[in-house]
Amino acid sequence: MNSDNKTWSGRFSEPVSELVKRYTASVTFDCRMAEVDIQGSLAHAAMLNKVGVLSAEDLAAIQRGMAEILDDIRNGSFEWSIDLEDVHMNIERRLTEKVGDAGKRLHTGRSRNDQVATDIRLYLRGAIDVILGLVRELQASLLQLAEKHAETVMPGFTHLQVAQPITFGHHMLAYVEMLGRDAERLADARKRVNRLPLGAAALAGTTYPIDRHLTAELLGFDGVCENSLDAVSDRDFAIEFTAASALAMTHLSRLSEELVLWMSPRFGFIDIADRFCTGSSIMPQKKNPDVPELVRGKTGRVNGALISLLTLMKSQPLAYNKDNQEDKEPLFDTVDTLTDTLRIYADMMRGVTVKPDAMARAVRQGFATATDLADYLVKKGLPFRDAHEIVARAVRYAEEEKKDLAELQLVELATFSPLIEADVLPVLTPQGSLASRDHVGGTAPRQVKLQIARWKEKLGI
């Protein structure tokens, strides 16, 4: 392709080499911003017309041409050219071919620097809105499980050792809370995404009498970026989104680890629907939890994207630098990974089958009500440290007898303290342990049901 196809070709005496074209082109990945690029250009053209820089005839031609281009993009007939480097130049060149000089006038008062910054913000704003909807959908799936198992006893773990009885519903609600914080972070990040850089031009603003607030209004931005240098070089919003996404993926990775463990025969707490699992090429009995395993792996991918963006920006002088072309691939990959993970998890959690009997057996294997026995003694007037020591000896005895605390006879328990009487027996049951934790945030079934009701009201479901 002849060098005069470049918008800046008049400055150069020879065409760009083919290798450099391929190395510097971004159209292979930034073409996904085509629709928001057109949206931004139409708002810019409308603003130029409003301030008297662009005629009504030119505006109409641009609007007509852009509508045709948008149709071509949506039906897959638009031909992308690596020679035109990026999504912006591909669309502008096609517009000029369609409407002539009006297409050439579209770029008045802007630069690709503020144009791309605007496109990324428009794209990311839309992506966040989709992701927030998917977070809510996953929370709804978890709430459905929690409601069904508000009273299903399972062991709570610390250090992966049986600690105290909880309910499966309470456990699911922990992830609902995590996702709630993820939604708050993403919604808060969206506020900083939703600022208009267009009008900053290359770095110093423009000599044309533009109305940036009008453009912001047309595009649904909350306001404008107030400093032209910062407007074209800022990628904080992309880093902030990726950081929030990394945290969300970390939460899903933790859930994934638990699902993998719980599905193992050594636990046997749950089963995952077949459509989310695979078999083995050699072992016919295998049913592998591939989705949760892959989510653990993809979390590292999103963490890597965050580090990539932080490293990209750490040494850049103001204002725009070509380095910033490298912001899109990690950002796009983060959007895709989080979006796909949330979508599949919302469906997968609806296909989880809980096995209450296995959970109940596990509760009886680790002296889960030992703390309840200590609390019982404290309520009888014993200092907690003394109660702790007494219960530790009782646990050692029960372990030697290969019994759970609840399986010991009252006469056996009484040998450890004269304060232990018949009223201790319900305290040592998992149900008694659960019921005693009847406070805000506690695992008592009544509290679990109240938490579920609160979240349902909050999510409007």
Q: What is the pLDDT of residue 56?
A: 98
User: How many CA atoms are closer than 13 Å to the CA of 138, on its beta-carbon side?
Assistant: 30
For residue 224, the SS3 value is: strand
Query: Is residue 92, in this structure, part of any structural domain at all?
Result: yes
Q: What per-residue confidence (pLDDT) applies to 16?
A: 78
* Residues 186, 79 within the same domain: no
Residues 127 and 56 in one domain: no
Contact 33, 87 (CB under 8 A): yes
Instruction: Looking at the structure, tell me whether residues 63 and 127 fall in a common domain.
Output: no
Q: Give the Cα separation of 208 and 107 in Å (integer).
A: 12
Domain finish residue from 49, 82, 108:
108
pLDDT reading at 324 higher than 80 = yes
Using a 10 angstrom Cβ sphere, with 0-12 exposed, 13-18 middle and 19 or more buried, the burial of residue 75 is: exposed
Asked whether residue 275 falls in the same domain as residue 357, the answer is: yes
CATH number, domain of 123, equals: 1.20.200.10
pLDDT of residue 11: 67
With 50 as the cut, is the pLDDT of residue 380 above it?
yes
179 shares a domain with 57 = no
pLDDT at 98 over 50: yes
Predicted pLDDT of residue 7: 58
Instruction: Give 283's pLDDT tier (boundaries 50, 70, 90).
Output: confident
Residue 8 clears pLDDT 60, i.e. is over it: no
Please check whether residues 136 and 84 belong to one and the same domain.
no
C-alpha 233/C-alpha 242 separation (Å) is 17
Q: What is the pLDDT, as a whole number, of residue 14? A: 78
Burial of 387 (0-12, 13-18, 19+ CB in 10 A): buried
- Whole-number pLDDT of residue 3: 40
Domain closes at, from 343, 361, 379: 361
Do 355 and 329 share a structural domain? yes
SS3 138: helix
Answer whether residue 157 is part of any domain.
yes
Question: pLDDT (tens digit, 9 = 90+) per residue, 58-86?
Answer: 999 999 999 999 999 999 999 999 999 99
- Whether the per-residue pLDDT at 2 is higher than 50: the answer is no
Length of the chain: 461
| C-alpha to C-alpha distance for 162 and 168, rounded to whole angstroms | 14
In terms of domains, do 355 and 209 share one?
yes
Give the residue from 108, 135, 169 where a domain finishes: 108
**Structural contact between residues 150 and 449, judged by C-beta atoms closer than 8 angstroms:** yes
Which single residue is written with the structure tokens 């796009």? 332
- Arithmetic mean of pLDDT, 349-362: 96
What φ, ψ does residue 20 adopt, rounded to 5°? -65, -40
- Same domain flag for 102 and 129: no
Residues 140, 51, single domain; the answer is no
| pLDDT tens readout for residues 104-126 | 999 999 999 999 999 999 999 99
Alpha-carbon distance of 80 to 92, in angstroms, equals: 12
The parent domain of residue 26 ranges over: 18-108
Per cent of the chain over pLDDT 90 is 92
Predicted model pTM: 0.93
Strand partners, 352: 272
| Helix (H) or strand (E) run with residue 92 in it | helix 87-99
Pair of tokens at residue 354: 């809980």
- Residues forming the active site: 159, 280
Confidence grade of residue 1 (pLDDT, cut at 50, 70, 90): very low
Cβ–Cβ < 8 Å for 150, 167: yes
What is the per-residue pLDDT for 442? 97
Mapped onto helix, strand or coil, the DSSP state of residue 434 is helix
Q: What is the pLDDT of residue 10?
A: 65
In a domain, 303, yes or no: yes
414's torsion region: left (phi>0), alpha (psi -120 to 50) or beta?
Answer: alpha
Position 147: which residue type?
E
| Residue 249 falls inside a structural domain | yes
Arithmetic mean of pLDDT over the chain: 95
Is residue 279 domain-resident?
A: yes
How many domains is the chain partitioned into structurally? 2
- Identify whether residues 92 and 118 lie together within a single domain: no
Residue 460 lies in a domain: no
Can you give the CATH number for the domain in which 31 is found? 1.10.275.10
Alpha helices in 106-167 (DSSP H): 112-148
pLDDT value at residue 440 = 97
Question: Among 240, 216, 241, 34, which residue's Cα sits nearest to residue 132?
Answer: 241
Rounded mean pLDDT, 80-103? 96
- Pair (119, 93) in one structural domain: no
**Mean pLDDT throughout 177-200?**
98
